[in-house]
Structure 1
């Protein structure tokens, strides 16, 4: 079982770590520009796109679980039709986002009360990056399908190429062409569509024979669409709550001033780096739990759950240890602003805790997605967001100042993990 897990997890970890690496490089590039508000604009722009794109993360997550179950049943037609439906939906949603880009921008900047300079440069970043919408959503769908097919190698290749291209273009546009946040946006736009072309090439190279399993009359099959949307409705609600928590975090940081916003943006990058690493095992759990549920191999399913949890906790401990030992030094990679570093150091303790307290809920998300048991994910996220995160923020900020926001985030993660653990014996592991 460990061999199966590592075969899927290691490529996922490598590809996942390139995602926060991109964010870290962007933060470092912009963090060394003359004005602090460029970093604030990048943070606010990232929040907006987290809402837009993460909200449709079900195009990947739901696709993986459903595809993995059909892979376990060896139903090639259903495997192919899942991919066809998710690409059809990605195109429709991507075009809708482009049509609504102006009202989305105005609403977002109204909700996030930042300084005038931050708002101005956020709009510059937004107007360029919004054009990536169809490509980003199409990549979600095809990567989710590859993972469901027990193929972690192709998503790794696609993601690494995407992010390495993105970094290269960003460095060129900022240092070569003298751009600022607009250079980051253009780099993302160009690299996204190049990565999509690569994904199509890889699909045709390995899975071209599956095209013969496509059945036009099944594309809009009512029963299959109901099943797809039932699973993805819960994932959508769960993801919106997660995005809300992180967006609320950034919006509150923006209200506290550019220094707090810049420091918290850097520390969130450290949260994301470890979370994406742990998600490598969460993705492995999605693939294997879905496969063994589809093939009705109960013993293997149980092993896949517990072995992945063990690996996730191990990475969490290693991440916390790394930040405890090297956290102060890491901050200097992101910025040379002494005042920003001083603020970040004052709340670094919460980032040291983050990998350890978050690892359990990250892995369990993957378990539930693979089993397509999505209602517990939805319910626990609602509880963690509105009954723990928000009340803790308002109460703890009054008592502890800037530490209150970080305490709220840590308790939010702990609540998710504990609640999902309570559901586990009655859902995924139920005989």
Structure 2
């Protein structure tokens, strides 16, 4: 057995983290490309339609992100055990469940759309165009949810390069297809939707081809009667249920943060939106290291290698402290200049200065939450992760409603910092089961 020196562990962490970070950064480009294309069509309603439609699908797919996370943790454990039979079955379970959920979403698209627009207040023209976008892109659900299963499985197999290749391919196809549909066939919003749909299925096809080319030998390990085995399916749904509930809490907090800011006026909403871009940038980096936690922790839990597990967690937190300190300094010296690149509205930039110190607190108070999420997913300690999120989310609303009358928007940011901190603190408290028990 190769000694688990810090250099070897760091190499393994970076081999998974760096491609994952690149994948994370490319994900929002799909939406940005769509907005850029319709932004040159001459009507604000086109931009509004893409923004609304994109937001709906972001929420839908965010909720079903458990398909990626649960698959990653369970696959990495099976990989650590060298249980190739279970490795093969997990991919079939995850992709199969994803396709089943997608069929339900496509079948229920009308009530889903009607329900969504009861909460989204917009003009008739934007709603009409967003409805057109939704009707086309909803057919991408099988590809997107199937890709979640593949992405989680690849990461569990210690391979984050393939999800990166898929994400880059999707962006290239999206640009080419959307430009073709919009400017050659003059399809406007429908063209952007068809371009997005084409890119989604191109990504799914690429995942299938990569699996067949590099993992096709696992087909001999598939025993179809074992795929739907009661005990295995029960564990699959228990793990994913906890992640689903945890993600639901996260979505509620995020949507409330936006809603509470909007209730305080356009300036505050714009300020919060801009400042949250700094949090989002930090999250892309930390999520990459969380993916390393998923893959490596799951591998060592499966192999029952507690020493390698402990050393990997320690190195992950060394990276976390270093990166969060670096981001704090970066935002302190350059954060306000970055806001100037996002907007030239002086009133918004001036108002943002009143809240900027909250952003400086995010890296050091929030990095642990990201890392522990990855560690807990890799260990499939999803129940504890959900409990931590539940306590943190409850504290978010408690702090906000206790203080917002006299602190205003500062109460919202304080609540968010408390929420991030408690996620990390709670999981650190519950981590002994992962780190020290066999």
The answer, yes or no, to whether TM exceeds 0.5 is yes
- Which residue of structure 1 aligns with residue 422 of structure 2? 415
Separation in structure 2 between the aligned mates of residue 72 and residue 110 of structure 1, nearest angstrom: 47
Separation in structure 2 between the aligned mates of residue 30 and residue 277 of structure 1, nearest angstrom: 29
Name the SS for the 1:305 alignment partner.
helix
User: Is the CA contact 1:94–1:134 (under 8 Å) kept in the aligned structure 2?
Assistant: yes
Deviation at 1:205, TM superposition (A): 1.1
Alignment of 1:280-291 (within 5 A): 280-291=288-299
Deviation at 1:322, TM superposition (A): 2.3
Name the SS for the 1:94 alignment partner.
helix
- Which residue of structure 1 aligns with residue 400 of structure 2? 393
Deviation at 1:263, TM superposition (A): 4.5
Deviation at 1:380, TM superposition (A): 0.9
Structure 1 residues 208 and 309, CA gap change in structure 2 (3 angstroms):
same
Structure 1 residues 348 and 245, CA gap change in structure 2 (3 angstroms):
same
User: Is the CA contact 2:74–2:378 (under 8 Å) kept in the aligned structure 1?
Assistant: yes
Deviation at 1:269, TM superposition (A): 3.3
- Which residue of structure 2 aligns with residue 430 of structure 1? 437
Separation in structure 2 between the aligned mates of residue 32 and residue 262 of structure 1, nearest angstrom: 23
Alignment of 1:11-410 (within 5 A): 11-22=19-30, 44-113=52-121, 122-166=130-174, 185-257=193-265, 260-337=268-345, 341-342=349-350, 344=352, 346-385=354-393, 387-410=394-417
Separation in structure 2 between the aligned mates of residue 26 and residue 35 of structure 1, nearest angstrom: 14
Name the SS for the 1:296 alignment partner.
coil
Separation in structure 1 between the aligned mates of residue 267 and residue 185 of structure 2, nearest angstrom: 27
Structure 1 stretch displaced more, 112-121 or 198-207: 112-121
What RMSD in Å do the two structures reach over aligned CA positions?
3.0
User: Is the CA contact 1:41–1:121 (under 8 Å) kept in the aligned structure 2?
Assistant: yes
Structure 1 stretch displaced more, 163-172 or 87-96: 163-172
User: Is the CA contact 1:114–1:254 (under 8 Å) kept in the aligned structure 2?
Assistant: no
Structure 1 stretch displaced more, 52-61 or 22-31: 22-31
Separation in structure 2 between the aligned mates of residue 406 and residue 158 of structure 1, nearest angstrom: 36
Deviation at 1:426, TM superposition (A): 3.4
User: Is the CA contact 1:263–1:340 (under 8 Å) kept in the aligned structure 2?
Assistant: yes
Deviation at 1:396, TM superposition (A): 3.2
- Which protein has the larger Cα radius of gyration, Structure 1 or Structure 2? 2
Structure 1 residues 183 and 406, CA gap change in structure 2 (3 angstroms):
farther
Deviation at 1:198, TM superposition (A): 1.2
Structure 1 residues 405 and 138, CA gap change in structure 2 (3 angstroms):
same
Structure 1, gaps ≥5 residues long:
none
User: Is the CA contact 2:30–2:196 (under 8 Å) kept in the aligned structure 1?
Assistant: no
Name the SS for the 2:139 alignment partner.
helix
- CA deviations 1:99-153 (Å, max 9, x no partner) are 1122112222323456767656554543343232111111100011111111121
Structure 2, gaps ≥5 residues long:
1-8
Name the SS for the 2:436 alignment partner.
coil
Separation in structure 1 between the aligned mates of residue 354 and residue 192 of structure 2, nearest angstrom: 29
Separation in structure 1 between the aligned mates of residue 188 and residue 409 of structure 2, nearest angstrom: 29
Structure 1 residues 121 and 367, CA gap change in structure 2 (3 angstroms):
same
Structure 1 residues 414 and 169, CA gap change in structure 2 (3 angstroms):
farther
Separation in structure 2 between the aligned mates of residue 181 and residue 319 of structure 1, nearest angstrom: 38
User: Is the CA contact 1:64–1:148 (under 8 Å) kept in the aligned structure 2?
Assistant: yes
Name the SS for the 2:86 alignment partner.
helix
Aligned residues: 430
- CA deviations 1:151-210 (Å, max 9, x no partner) are 121112112222344456567778998888766544432211111111111111101111
Separation in structure 1 between the aligned mates of residue 414 and residue 37 of structure 2, nearest angstrom: 29
Separation in structure 2 between the aligned mates of residue 191 and residue 263 of structure 1, nearest angstrom: 33
- Which residue of structure 2 aligns with residue 7 of structure 1? 15
Q: So what's the TM-score if we normalise by structure 2?
A: 0.87
